[in-house]
Amino acid sequence: MRHAAMGGGKRLRPLLVAASAELLGVPRERALRAGLAAECIHVQSLIHDDLPCMDDDDLRRGRPTVHCAYDEATAVLAGDALLSLAFGILAETDVHPDGEVRCELVRSLAAASGAGGMAGGQMMDLMPAEQADPLIVAKVQSLKTGALIEWCAEAGPILAGADGEERRRLKRYGACLGLAFQIADDLLDAEGDEAAAGKRLRKDADKPSFVSILGVEAAHQEAERLVGEAADCLASYGARAGLLNAIARFAVTRSC
């Protein structure tokens, strides 16, 4: 668990929780705990995604993947334990004194990570023959990658006990960011540098993605369009949304 969680990584998801929480005046300590839960889920998904039965990768965050450094059983169990840890963290009173808020964090993260979120998206991703068009690619990527990013953006309003409109705004921002982030990931796979990325690249050329369907140039344009749409969702916050807008920009300009 430490090998995967402590060895590098951009910590984008905890940063996103911290930024959406800060926008709504949530104490930083609570946001960091919710962000930690998101990172545990993310790391679990990376460990399992790298397994031979899935993407079969030997390098992650510049180091051997867990099943290569240890063995497959250890990798499966490390992922399982991180998943349990995430929900355990959210159930602790340090996250929020109100049990209803904690319960909503747990419920929504379960939805984002389960069959209607990451796990379902990954299942669809393993069946590429069924994803010939951009709408299906967008759906798969929104679930596999976007659902957790969306949850991170929504965690601020949940922690703040914000109203439905505010929650919808941040969730929509997260959905645009999540899709833009995955397009950038596919562009990185096509154009990036392995040493900087810390993982094997050019493995997904045959897989349906915005890059393989639309081409590199149109995929860049679509990622840019989504960053603009993400910013539009936050227009009413003015300059206070500066960090969230900077995160969206970073998502599509990153080199790792």
Asked if residue 119 binds ligand GRG (CB under 6 A), the reply is yes
Closer CB to ligand GRG, residue 49 or residue 104? Answer: 49
Closest CB to ligand GRG among residues 113, 142: 113
Q: What angle do CA 150, 78, 65 make, to 5 degrees?
A: 85
Extended strands (E) in the chain? 59-60, 63-64
According to CB under 6 A, which residues from 202 to 231 bind ligand GRG? none
Residues 47-106 within binding reach of ligand GRG (CB under 6 A): 48-49, 61, 83
* Piece in contact with ligand GRG (CB under 6 A), picked from 66-74, 114-122, 159-167, 242-250: 114-122
> Which of 75, 76, 82, 8 is CA-nearest to residue 38?
82
The answer to whether residue 9 forms part of the interface with ligand GRG (CB under 6 A) is yes
Could you tell me the smallest distance in angstroms from the CB atom of residue 121 to ligand GRG? 7
Selected binder of ligand GRG within 20, 65, 108, 113 (CB under 6 A)? 113
**Rounded Cα–Cα distance for residues 109 and 128 (Å):** 26
147 burial level (CB within 10 Å; 0-12, 13-18, 19+): buried
Residue 3 is a binding residue for ligand GRG (CB under 6 A): no
Minimum CB distance to ligand GRG smaller for 98 or for 191: 191
Q: Which of 251, 254, 211 is nearest to 230 (CA)?
A: 251
The Cα 18–Cα 13 span in angstroms is 9
Beta bridge partners, 63, equal 60
Residue listed under structure tokens 């967008």: 138
CA distances from 19 to 97, 159, 233 (A): 21, 12, 15
- Closest contact distance (angstroms) between CB of 66 and ligand GRG is 13
Site for ligand GRG in 184-203 (CB under 6 A): 185
d(Cα 141, Cα 124) in Å, to the nearest integer? Answer: 9
Per-residue contact flags (x/-) with ligand GRG for residues 121 to 160, judged by CB under 6 A: -x---------------------xx---------------
* Closer of 24 and 179 to ligand GRG (Cβ): 179
CA–CA dist 14, 4 (Å, integer):
16
Shortest spacing between CB 164 and ligand GRG, in angstroms: 26
Cβ(108)–Cβ(158) under 8 Å?
Answer: yes
DSSP conformation class of 58: S
Query: Considering the complex, what minimum distance in angstroms separates the CB of residue 186 from ligand GRG?
Result: 9
Judged by CB under 6 A, which of 182, 209, 212, 245 binds ligand GRG? 182
Interacting residues toward ligand GRG by CB under 6 A: 9-10, 12, 41-42, 44-46, 48-49, 61, 83, 113-114, 118-119, 122, 144-145, 182, 185
